[in-house]
Amino acid sequence: MNYEQLIHETALADERLLVMTAENRALIRNLPGPLGPRFIDTGITEQTMIGAAAGLALRGRVPVVHALATFLTLRAFEFIRTDVGIPHLPVKISAFVPGFLSDGNGPTHQAIEDVSLMRGIPGMTVFAPADEQDMLAMLPAIWASPDPAYLRVNTRPATYQHTPFEIGKAEIVSEGKDITILTYGMLFEQALIAKDLLTQAGYSVGLVNLRSLKPLDEAAVLNVVKAGSLVVTLEDHFQTGGLYSILAELLLEHELTAKVLPLALKERWYKPGLLSEVLEYEGFTGQHIARRIGERLGGGAHTFGAKTKVVENEFAE
């Protein structure tokens, strides 16, 4: 089962579902035939596509819209906020190549403020699966929900067997006394490597795949904080407005403090290249993550092995 098969199957079973795209068919190439008029391609028009999706949702449809994450969240932002957010319509936004997944496309295509923007819209839900298997586990609940939803599409192959999904619940991979890595999206894959390396080096390491940034699994995050280990927020997003900010807001609300190491992009765009090069250059491979955490703990002597092998993305239109 892949994304296309799941949406195909769901649309056949539920006539409310409509597939829309602003001429970004990478995930849904084979659907125009089987879905007929329920496949609507508006051409390269992110704003108009979102407006039309709102009109369709007004009539009881559940439009699943597809385009590049950066253009949906930035160019069409006001349309999402105003046409989808204000009337709280169940438009489901499938945002392609978010964060580091736009690899070689350059800064115009880097959706690294998308979580910040989308979570700022009242009622909008925000999801970031770790890989394709995680995404397929998440989508049925997201599409069935009456809420508007933003999804950071991630079709990378799974390196971890995920547990069933429930909206607002994080996936606790492990609990640790020394370090807990909180992460979402494609960096989960590297976080797993970092966890293994740090564990081999003798640390007790926790790892949480948040899955949903809004609603946030506050109980899971508070448990990590109260356990007293170093909390690492790991994200392919600007440090401002993403997980680090979400954690800071939660801590303040509960009058708590914690040792926190933010691993995110600080006040700059990342250097474009193939995904493996991007992760290496920017310090987000499993090895780099382990090293950066080790340094923070005062154990800088660990080198954490050779360069990580990263499966390159297929060319994304």
Partner 1 sequence: MTTEKKQALSELALRVREHIVRLSTDGGCFTGASLSCADLLVYLYADFLNVNPGNLQDPERDYLFLSKGHDVPALYGTFAELGFMPKERLQNHLKSNDSIYWHPNRNVPGVEFHSGSLGHLPSVALGVALDARLRGQQQHVIVITGDGELNEGTCWEALLVASAHKVNNLTIVVDRNHFQANIATEDLIPLEPLAPKFEAFGAVVKRIDGHDFTALEEAFTALPFSPDKPSVIICDTVRGRGLPSIERRADRWFCNFSSEEITSLLKELHSQEATKLTSETLTVR
CB of 5 to partner 1, least distance (A): 23
| 66 vs 162, beta carbon nearer partner 1 | 66
- By CB under 8 A, name the one of 1, 13, 29, 43 that touches partner 1: 43
Q: SS3 for 156?
A: coil
Record the tokens describing residue 68, joined without a space.
């590049």
**Length of the chain in residues, anyone?**
317
- Contact between 12 and partner 1 by CB under 8 A: the answer reads no
- By CB under 8 A, name the one of 25, 32, 74, 82 that touches partner 1: 82
| 79 vs 127, beta carbon nearer partner 1 | 79
Cα-Cα end-to-end distance for the chain: 22
- By CB under 8 A, name the one of 26, 27, 54, 213 that touches partner 1: 54
Stretch that binds partner 1, among 43-51, 122-130, 237-245, 263-271 (CB under 8 A): 43-51
Over the range 61-93, which residues count as b (16 or more CB within 10 Å of their CB) and which as e?
bbbbbbbbbbbbbebbbebbbebbbeeebbbbb
Rounded Cα–Cα distance for residues 134 and 156 (Å): 10
Place of tokens 């609603």: 215
- Contact between 58 and partner 1 by CB under 8 A: the answer reads yes
Rounded-to-5 percentages of helix, strand, coil across the chain: 40, 20, 40
- Contact between 79 and partner 1 by CB under 8 A: the answer reads yes
Record the tokens describing residue 106, joined without a space.
């350059």
| 93 vs 275, beta carbon nearer partner 1 | 93
- Contact between 72 and partner 1 by CB under 8 A: the answer reads no
Place of tokens 């079709």: 155
Interacting residues toward partner 1 by CB under 8 A: 37-38, 40, 42-43, 45, 47-61, 63, 78-79, 82-83, 86-87
